[in-house]
């Protein structure tokens, strides 16, 4: 009997991906726990999409703020997700990824943080212990 290993980790996909809570692009993998934003600890889970529309890859990135640090402290550093979670569908291939849609759809009530949007804002030292 042979064991088939499915490797869902794609270095190129994580180079494209960013955290919609804080805008940072660096993620950490903790074996048997998951993948988390290195800056705010928002969890991300990758799932295969059922529909690819002819693209080489179609991935759903599901973000969850249950583990996010200091979410309540300052809206200038991170932004909560509606009901604590959001999904983004990414289409394409390494080097040519694009966002197909967000769920829930961005609107007046919620907008995902753009890549690097808060990178010029420093977190105050007096809140780092609240993580």
pLDDT tens per residue across span 55-113: 677 889 999 999 988 776 666 678 889 989 999 999 988 888 999 999 999 998 889 99
CB 78 within 8 A of CB 113: yes
What the block records as the tokens of 95 is 């080097």
CA separation for the pair 5, 42 (Å, rounded): 26
Query: Residue 102 and residue 18: Cα distance in Å, rounded?
Result: 13
- Domain parsing of the chain, residue ranges: 11-120
Cβ 64 vs Cβ 80: under 8 Å? no
Higher pLDDT, 56 or 45: 45
Q: Is the pTM of this model over 0.95?
A: no
């Amino acid at each position: 009997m042979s064991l088939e290993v499915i490797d869902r980790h794609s270095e190129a996909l994580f180079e494209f991906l960013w955290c919609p809570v804080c805008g940072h692009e660096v993620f950490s993998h903790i074996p048997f726990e998951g993948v988390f934003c290195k800056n705010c600890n928002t969890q991300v889970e990758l799932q295969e999409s059922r529909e690819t529309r002819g693209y080489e890859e179609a991935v759903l990135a599901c973000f969850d703020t249950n583990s996010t640090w200091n979410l309540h402290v300052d809206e200038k550093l991170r932004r909560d997700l509606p009901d604590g979670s959001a999904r983004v569908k990414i289409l394409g291939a390494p080097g040519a990824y694009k966002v197909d849609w967000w769920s829930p759809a961005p609107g007046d009530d919620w907008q995902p943080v753009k890549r690097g949007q808060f990178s010029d804002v420093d977190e105050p030292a007096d809140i780092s212990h609240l993580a």
